Every structure is written in C-alpha cells, then in structure tokens.
Chains A and B, each alone.
Chain A
Amino acid sequence: MLFKIAWRNIWRSPVRSWIIISALTVGMFAGIFSATFINGWMMQRLHDGVETETGHLQIFRDGYRKHPEVSVSFNSELATVVSENPLIKGISPRIMVQGMAASTETARGVKINGIDPDAEKAVLNLHEKIIEGDWFESPYKRPIVIGQKLAGQLQLKLKSRIILRFQDVDGNITGGAFRVAGIFKTNNTAFDEANVWVKKENLASLLGVSADKCHSLVVRLSDADKAMVVARELQSELTGMEVVPWKELSPELGYMTELGNTYLYLFVIIILLALGFGIINTMLMVVLERVREIGMLMSVGMSRRRIFLMIVLETVMLSSAGGMSGILLGMIAVWRLSYTGIDLSVWSTGLTEMGFDPIIYPEWDVALVLNIALLVVITGILASLYPAWKALKLKPSEAVRTI
C-alpha cells in the first residue's frame, strides 16, 4: 500500500508534479542528448583515427620510435609469423621516411609512407577517402597519393609531377619524381597535409634498402577492443620488437575519449544537482502541506521507518517519472539524429583542423544511459532525505492539530 499511497500522492497536486517532472524531463533530455552527441563526436574521431591513420596496432623494431632512422628496419616476412594470431585480420608493411615534397611552386615537409596498396587496403580505409583519381591503379611508374590540403598548398592536380627529397640509408640526400595518381580527403586536414603515400618498392629503391624490408607493420584486428590484449601477446612473442596499440600510437585519441566521458558525467551530475534542489523544494512543500496527515499517520501507528520510506518512494517515483521520460525522449531524438547527423559545417574549418568530422552522428553507449538512469534514482533518494527527515521531526500530538 505504501507504493499506492506514494504514487497517488504525486498526483494530489498535478500542476506542481507536472512542473517538476517537466523540469526533470528537459534536464535529462539535455543530459542524454549531450552525452550521446559528445560520445558520437569522440567515437567518430576515434574511428577515423584508428581506421584511417594508425590502425589497431603497429609493430616496429626496438628503438625506431625514438630514433626513426632508415636503417632501423626489419624483414617484412615477420608479417607471416604475426598473422598466425587468429584475431588479426590484415597486416600491411610500411617503409617510412621524413622528407620534402616540392612542386614547381613551393615545398612542404611530409612523411612519406611506402606501402603495398593492396595490403594497405586491408588495414586502413584511406582508399575510400579518394576524391580525385584512384588508389594506385594508374599505370604511372611512380604514382603518389596525396591529401587535398597538400595538393592545394603545392598547387598540384591529378597527373602533376611532385619531387620527393629525403635521406637514403647512407645519409645522402636523394629523391625522385612522382606523379599524382590520387587525391584523398579525410576529416583531419593536419593528417592530409603531412602524409603522402607511394608504392613501397619505389621508395625502397630510392632509399637503397631491400624491398622486403620495412619500418613498421600496421595491423588490423577483428575486434578493436582487443588491441591491448593482442599487443601484449605479440610483445611477449616477438623479441627485439616493439608492439604499440593505437592508444599509445595516438595517445590524444585515448585521452580524448576519457576526457569526453569525464565531461559527460560532470555535465549530467551538474544537471542532476540543479534538479535535485528543485526536487528538495517540491518535497519540502509536500511535507509542509501534509503535516496534519503525517501527524495522523504517526498517531495511528505508522512507524517512522515507513513514513521515511513513503516520502523517499514518492520522491524517487517523481524523479524517475521525469528522468525516465527525459531519457526516452532523448533516445527518440538520438535514434533519429543517428541517421541524419547534426551538421556543424559552419565550423567545419576549425573542426577538420582538429581532425573532427563536421557532421556529428550521436551514438548510444548503453552503459552510459544505464548509469544516467541510476544517477536519476540516486538523486531522487538523496533529494528525499532532507524532506523525509523534516517529516520525522514532527511531533504527532502537535502535527495532528495543524490547520
């Protein structure tokens, strides 16, 4: 009967209850919407970073990351050994060197990635980001794929000649002419500006290293969440090598998701804190209005524990009604927007400079929603404590005669 009384009590002042329920609904809607928006934003960046830039993990020779010398290479046959791990879906060996990319107009510092185009397709999705030309299908002797931003800076178009200069294995300046076969565009203009992609054999011959050598193996897993586990397993198997998961390759991606989650919870807690005071105010009014009734309940033998529970239940039901309807509304909005996306193209320049897609697709995180629902209930319980305590302080002999 306590549940029945608590529920019916909520509707004794329907206007007041609707106001607090509406406030909770709007607050929770805002919380859920922001949570999924930021989650979607972060996950998109994470997805782009891992799928386009780093892969799930990379393998280097010990010391290469500290001193990326051309000579610190290893035989790409290691890929065969590594691929025995059942979680590995694709491996791409790379030769990498820092150099200058020059057109007839100007020059820029770039990282030159020598790849096997087919193997690279199996680990990253850069080939899907080609906006002009193709992914190494043109019959050029030395094809190169560059980013749109770099193409703009160097004033290059498809079929344009580009000169790459860098140090060979002996430390001598060398280089060669390449022809632009494809132009890509990712959501990260800094990446587009700083990376060029050439065939591994072309770069190897210019560097003076054997074509079967490489500086890194880029690995794609069947389950991205297993990156840390697989990295540990491979690390224990491969001596003299360094296996680096994406979180270490791009620590900013890991920090970003953690920061995003922290911000989300802070945001939701601030909303709930503000709403909590509203709930306390409402429930205090409820207690003050029902002094005589509470006095009567005490007089006829309702224990203090039950009176306390009745007020807590009423508050939790009130908070949950508002909280859950806000979550539900948020879910509907997010479900819709997860298809259409939220277009922030007005700020696209700034966003892409930081590597973010200007169209954000809000994304669910079930654990997050469950945690928010739990926080709503906890807020209800906490907000009920003071009004319930006030009720318990009443003296039945006085309360029962209150007008």
Chain B
Amino acid sequence: MSIITLNKIYKTYNSRQVPVHALKGVDLLFDEGEFTAIVGPSGSGKTTLLNILGGLDDPDSGDVIIDEVYVNRLSGNEKIKFRLNHIGFIFQAYNLIPVLTARENVEFILELQGVPKAERKKRSLQLLEAVGIPEKADVRPRQLSGGQQQRVAVARALASNPRFVLADEPTANLDSTSAENLLSIMHELNQQENTTFIFSTHDERVVKKARRVVTLQDGTIKDDKTI
C-alpha cells in the first residue's frame, strides 16, 4: 500500500529571472518498507524532490500526500510537527549537534516529541546499539569518524519511529568501508523494522543495494525500476 503519493509535482526556481524548471510534473508512489534510490545527474531535481517529499519546500503545483495528509497544504508549524513525527532525515554532512554527545543527539528528537526522560535514554541507547556504536554514546561528534557520525545520524533519524527516512547523499562523504557498513545497517533496519528509506545518491554502492531505482533527468522521471 502506498504511503507517499506525489501527484503532478512542478517546481521552478528563479521564476522571475532565468527560470530553472527543477521538477516538471513528477508522479510517484512509495510503498511501506521500500528501499529506494533516486538517481540522476546533477541538476536533475533529486534534491528538490527530496525537499518537497520532506516538507522542507513546497511545490509550485501538485500535491504531496503522506498517510492521507496533504503535506504541502499544511501551515509552517504544522509541517514542522509533521516532519518531527513522520519523517527521519539523514544529511550528506551528518549535521549532528556538535555540543551534544551521540546519545544526546538521538535523545534530542525524542525530547522534541515529549518522550519522558527514562524512555528517551533507553531508546537512544537501543538505537546506538542498532547502528553498532553503543560504546560511543557519551562521545561528542568531533571525536567520531565520518562513518560513526553518519551512524549517529541514522539513529537520530529513526528515533522518532518515522514512517519513512529521507537520506540526501548519505554516503557521499564516507570512505568505501564506512559506506558499506552504513548501507548494511540501513538495509538491516529496513528489513527488520520495515522502515521506508528513500535516498538521493550518485553512489553506485547505494544503487546496488536499492530494491527500486528512480532515475530523474531534467526534472522528469526517466526510469523507475524495481529490482
């Protein structure tokens, strides 16, 4: 069953100067438990698509429907709340809060959700264990390697029990071993927890792990393959 529907999404930047048509009528459906890679050359619209999926940006026209909620029609504060409770984010540059430890970074999302302290602590440790770095719980990001930081980011993305996780080039800054490990962890979580993962990527390793590959070119879907 589809949990995400993108319906005729159009997005143009610089519409008053030199218009850049980032997305031109994209229609997509995502089912629960998918492990999907969105690929395409630079400027094809991958990031724009991810931003619109995550409610970080609004389409000029079309609808984003997630669990029967028209996300693009929500107010600013409603979108923030929706993101907190339904979407996990993994960024290319990890984007952890540098002044918090690994555990506190994961706990932070739970605190925003109003989860009680004891439960927060328990869940954050469980997640760090799931991503294979329980011993780094009390370490701050700058003392972690890139791969370890991205694992914390995965744990943080999963903290709120989201319906799906959006990952923007998650392996772009990692060496091949770290990238492989991270992908294995995410793949495992996808299998075990049935969490939906949607990546934008250039990385062939990610593409090989994906069960569905959506190829974008010039703002339109060139190919949509389920493997």
Contact = CB atoms under 8 A, between A and B. Distances in A.
B194 interface: no
Interface string A279-321: 0000000000000110011111111101000000000000000
* Interface-central residue, A12, A301, A302, A400, by most chain B CB under 10 Å: A301
Given A5-B100, A293-B97, A304-B77, A299 B89 contact: yes
Interface residues of B, number: 28
Interface stretch (B2-10, B105-113, B171-179): B105-113
B165 to A, nearest CB: 11
A1 B108 contact: yes
Given A299-B89, A304-B80, A8 B99 contact: yes
Interface string B86-111: 00010101010111100010011101
A301 B160 contact: yes
Contacts of A4: 99-100, 104
A306 B112 contact: yes
A397 interface: yes
Contacts of A125: none
A34 interface: no
Contacts of B107: 1
Given A1-B104, A5-B97, A9-B99, A299 B77 contact: no
A396 B95 CA distance: 12
A12 B76 contact: no
A299 B83 contact: yes
B13 to A, nearest CB: 11
A301 B51 contact: no
A335 to B, nearest CB: 37
22 contacts: A1-B104, A1-B108, A5-B100, A8-B99, A8-B100, A297-B97, A300-B83, A300-B156, A301-B80, A301-B84, A301-B85, A301-B109, A301-B160, A302-B84, A303-B81, A304-B76, A304-B80, A306-B112, A395-B57, A397-B51, A397-B56, A397-B57
Interface of B: 47, 51, 54, 56-57, 76-77, 80-81, 83-85, 89, 91, 93, 95, 97-100, 104, 107-109, 111-112, 156, 160
Interface of A: 1, 4-5, 8-9, 12, 292-293, 296-304, 306, 395-397, 400-401
